[in-house]
Structure 1
Amino acid sequence: MIADGSRDYALPTIPGQQRDLRSISPEVMADVVSGHYNDVFSDVTIVDCRYPYEFEGGHIKGAVNLFTRDGVNALLHKPVSGDKRHVLIFHCEFSSERGPKMYRFLRSLDRELHKDLYPALLFPEVYLLHGGYKAFYNKFKVISIELLV
C-alpha cells in the first residue's frame, strides 16, 4: 500500500540499497517516460536532485531539477488536484545520497504538514530510481535517445 494506505503502488518496485524507500528499475522509468503508465496515473514528476551543471549536461526527458530543500519544499506548495494520482520519482547520479535524502525530506515534510489529517499526504506515492541517472543513461543512451534530453 502507498504511504496513506489508500491503494497499491502503481509501479512495480525492486529491492534497492535504500531499504526504507520504494525503488523502481531503469526499465520501469523508461516505461514511465514513454507513457506506458499514463492510464494508471494522471501526472508524474521526475525529480532530478543533481546539481544544475549535471542536469544541464543531460537529464531524463521531462525531469525537473530540484537540488535544494527549498526546491523540494516548493512541490508541497504547488496546487495538485485532489482527484489526480500524482506520482513522484526521485533520483540523483547514483540514487545513493542526494536523491534518497530529498525523498525522505519530502516525505517528512509532507507528514508534518498533514499531521492533523493522518495518514493523508499530498504525495503518497513516491519512488526512487534504482542506480540513478547513471544506470538509466547506461541502459538507454543508445536504444532510446528520445528518453534523454
Structure 2
Amino acid sequence: MFEHPGDIMKAKAEEAPLPHFFQEGQPDSIPRITKDTLLEVLDGKFDGTYDQRMVIDCRFEYEFDGGHIDGAVNYNDKELLAGQLFEAALPGKTLLIFHCEYSAHRAPIMARHVRKQDRTTNIEQYPKLTYPEVYILDGGYSTFFSQHRERCFPQNYVEMDAKEHAYTCEREMGRLRQNRSKLSRAQTFAFGQGGVDDSPTAPNRSRTTASCDLMMMDMTSSPCLNYDRGHARRMVSY
C-alpha cells in the first residue's frame, strides 16, 4: 500500500522504460535513446530501476581499442553475444544499450538478432522476453564522442574506414555481408501483428521481467568510475 501520492508517482517512474523514440524509416521496432539519456544511465539515474546494464559497442575491435565509451563492452559477433546472454541468464532487470559508429547498421543488426533470439527462447511463453529493455544509442559513438570526449577511453575516435585498418575493415565487412546473406535466407517466425522483433516499449506493449547475464556490470557502482581500463572485454570472432 502507498501512503502518499508521491509514493505512487515514484513507483510508476521506476516501472517506466527509458525515455526513447522510434526512428522513422527504420525496418525494426527497437527504440532509440539520445546521448543525454545514456549519460543519465551512466551517472546512475536509473540504478533503482535496473539490476545491471550493458553498453554494447558493436564496432570492430580496432575501433573499440582506439576509443570507446568508458564502461562499454565490445561485441561484434551476434552469435557470440546471444550465447553469452541466453546460456547463462540470471534473474533481475537488465538494460541493454547497443551502438556502433553511427548506429545505422551494425548496432541495429545486433539488437534485432538479440530480440529474435529472445523470442525464440521464450516461444512457449509469448510475449515474455528475457531482455525486454533493449535500446539503440542514436547517432552512435560518433555523436557521443563529439560532445562527451571526456567520457571516452582513450579519448580518441578511430573511424571504421581508417586507412591503417583498411585490410581488417574489409575482412570484417565481408563477414558481416556473409552473415546477413545467411540471415536473409533463414526462416523467420511472426508473433502477433508486429513480428518477431517487436519492442515491448512500443505503444500498447506490456513490459515483462528481465533477466541478467553473468558477465554484466553491477548497477550499484558507476561503470565510468570503476571500469577496469586494462581489462576491457573484447568479444570478437573472425
The 8 Å contact of residues 89 and 127 in structure 1, kept in 2 or not, is answered as: yes
Q: How many residues align?
A: 137
Give matches, 1:22-41, under 5 Å: 22-41=31-50
The 8 Å contact of residues 15 and 49 in structure 2, kept in 1 or not, is answered as: no
Structure 2 gaps of 5+ residues are 1-13, 154-238
Give matches, 1:66-145, under 5 Å: 66-73=75-82, 74-81=84-91, 84-141=92-149, 145=150
Please, which moves more after superposition, 66-75 or 26-35? 66-75
Tell me, yes or no, if structure 1 residue 52 matches structure 2 residue 61.
yes
Task: Measure how far apart 1:20 and its partner are.
Answer: 2.0
Once superposed, which parts of structure 1, at least 4 consecutive aligned residues long, lie more than 6 Å away?
A: none
Aligned partner of 1:13 among 7, 20, 33: 20
Task: Measure how far apart 1:32 and its partner are.
Answer: 0.8
Structure 1 gaps of 5+ residues are 1-6
What TM-score do you get using the length of structure 2 for normalisation?
A: 0.54
Task: Measure how far apart 1:72 and its partner are.
Answer: 1.8
The CA distance in 2 between the partners of 1:29 and 1:118, in whole Å, is 29
The CA distance in 2 between the partners of 1:64 and 1:35, in whole Å, is 18
The change in CA–CA distance for 1:9 and 1:130 in structure 2 (over 3 A counts) is: farther
C-alpha RMSD over aligned residues: 1.7
The CA distance in 1 between the partners of 2:152 and 2:44, in whole Å, is 14
The 8 Å contact of residues 22 and 29 in structure 2, kept in 1 or not, is answered as: no
